[in-house]
Amino acid sequence: MQTIRARVFFHLAAFAAFLLCLPITASSARAAPAAEGGVVVYYFHGTLRCETCLLIETLAEGTLQADFPEELANGRLVWRPLSVDLPENAHFVKDFGLGANELVVIRQHKDGGATWGKVPDIWNLAANPGRFSQRLREEVVRFLEMRI
């Protein structure tokens, strides 16, 4: 059983490393803001990351691409992984009361305001990709359907 788990974890970590090596274009590095009334999913992390941190990012991005391709394409949903160790992103720690790596979903209001919430329990759910995806999907749908 341990050997199977080790193999699965190794393959997930290798896949995450592969994704991190893909070329980043100027447009993906500076993602456009969500469309008016849109939703942004942030993954806040540090510069140095463990295997679970990388796995969380891979699972989150994969869930959004699989379940919300239209919303991502039309700008109604935006995915933004950001390192809070970079000076230009450090303010997010205070803005959202961030602890360790966290997923935060934000709904942009037409008046310039926003409603946001943290996706709970991502560290524990990372060990169960199906439950992780379900939790993230529920939060994104809740914010997409939110009346503003």
List the domain boundaries for the chain. 34-144
Question: Two tokens at 25?
Answer: 């274009």
pLDDT greater than 90 at residue 144: yes
Q: What are phi and psi of 33, to 5 degrees?
A: -65, 160
pLDDT score of 11 more than 80:
no
Place 32 in a pLDDT band, splitting at 50, 70 and 90.
Answer: very low
Least confident of 21-30, 51-60, 79-88: 21-30
Largest CA distance in the chain: 54
**Backbone phi, psi, residue 80, to 5°:** -140, 95
Rounded CA gap, 76 and 107, in Å?
10
Say whether pLDDT at 57 is over 90: yes
Rounded to two decimals, the pTM is 0.74
What's residue 46's pLDDT? Answer: 87
Whole-number percent of the chain with pLDDT over 90 = 55
76-110 confidence digits (pLDDT tens) = 999 999 999 999 998 999 989 898 789 999 998 88
Task: State the residue for tokens 């341990």.
Answer: 2
- Which of the listed CATH numbers 3.40.50.720, 3.40.30.10, 2.60.40.10, 3.40.50.150 matches domain 34-144? 3.40.30.10
Residues near 11 by Cβ (< 8 Å), separated by ≥ 6? Answer: none
Task: Inform me whether the pLDDT recorded for 72 exceeds 60.
Answer: yes
Rounded CA-CA distance 67/60 in Å is 11
Q: Which of 128, 88, 107, 87 is nearest to 42 (CA)?
A: 107
